[in-house]
Amino acid sequence: MNDKQLPPQGAVPRSVTSREFLQKAIAEEVLEHAECAGVQFGGIYWHEVDETGCNWSVSIISGPEWTDCFIAMEKFIFTLRAQYNIPQAE
């Protein structure tokens, strides 16, 4: 592991999980929010550890009223990003 991959000092260690797990969790949570009807989240992608200590993000969100859905999903996605990292892309 190089210095760029180390979490920020004081960061809580994250479990490593798969992109598929995260995509499924997000897809299931979307179903709980009426404002997310017709909205689709893109794939999970790896990046260097960011200022929060997380190494992944969601690539795109699209559909009708996606901004309302993003607001509804923001806390859930933030929680996933605080708990999990994904294996480094090859």
What's the pTM value of the predicted model, to 2 decimals? 0.80
pLDDT at 9 over 60: no
> In this predicted model, which residue has the larger pLDDT, 1 or 17?
17
Range 27-48 average pLDDT: 92
Extents of the domains making up the chain: 14-85
Give the amino acid at 75: K
Dihedral through CA 23, CA 40, CA 43, CA 5, nearest 10?
Answer: -80
CB 76 within 8 A of CB 28: no
Tell me: pLDDT of 6 over 60: no
Please state, for a pLDDT cut of 90, what percent of the chain lies above it: 64
- If you average pLDDT over residues 2-9, what whole number do you get? 49
